[in-house]
Amino acid sequence: MVGVHEWALAEAVVLTLSQYLREVGWSRVSRVVVSLGELQAVDREVFEFALKELTSLYGVEVGRFEVVDEEASFECRSCGFRWRLRDLNLPDEVRESIHFLPEAAYAYVRCPRCGSADFALLSGRGVRLVGVEP
Ligand SMILES: [Zn+2]
């Protein structure tokens, strides 16, 4: 099943992009910026390859794709404190399991201020189209 996930994510990006281009009436773009959540376990090389293949499949002309990282951040529902994944002093194996399965964050992450396990994930999941340049 290697790569299936990446292709599905890339397809969602390309479909959104082609719809956007139809709306604005552009036939090609020079640069597209895509943000990739830190907690989205994807093989970046496969993802970038899939983006390129799918744009030609969907007839979208893109000069260059730029994939940027979106940091994982959390907000405590008890005290309102906000923090980032990298602020926490987690062992490497825990960090890795969170990258592999974001839901694992709920087993390991606690609010650094009040210790609550009731928090929301503000960013760091999913793939988003963040910029399109003609
Ligand atoms: Zn808190």
Q: If you write DSSP's letter for every residue of 51-114 in order, what string do you get?
A: HHHHHHHTT-EEEEEEEEEE--EEEETTT--EEEGGGS---HHHHHHHHH-GGGHHHH---TTT
Residue 119 CA to ligand 1 centre (angstroms) = 8
Residue 78 alpha carbon to ligand 1 centre in Å: 5
Mean pLDDT of 67-80: 95
Q: What is the dotted CATH code of the domain comprising 4-71+124-133?
A: 3.30.2320.50
- Identify the pLDDT of residue 106: 86
Give the range among 3-7, 31-35, 73-77, 78-82 with minimum mean pLDDT.
3-7
Burial readout 21-50 (b: 16 or more C-beta within 10 A, e: otherwise):
beeeeeeebeebebbbbbbbebeeebbbeb
Give me the chain's average pLDDT, please: 91
CA of 66 to the centre of ligand 1 (A): 35
CA of 72 to the centre of ligand 1 (A): 17
Q: How confident is the model at residue 103 (pLDDT cuts 50, 70, 90)?
A: confident
pTM for the model stands at: 0.79
104 alpha carbon to ligand 1 midpoint, in Å?
19
**Ligand 1 centroid, distance to 121 Cα (angstroms):** 13
Measure 99 CA to ligand 1 centroid, in angstroms. 22
pLDDT at 2 over 80: no
The CA 56 to ligand 1 mean position distance, Å, reads 47
The domain locations on the chain are: 4-71+124-133, 73-123
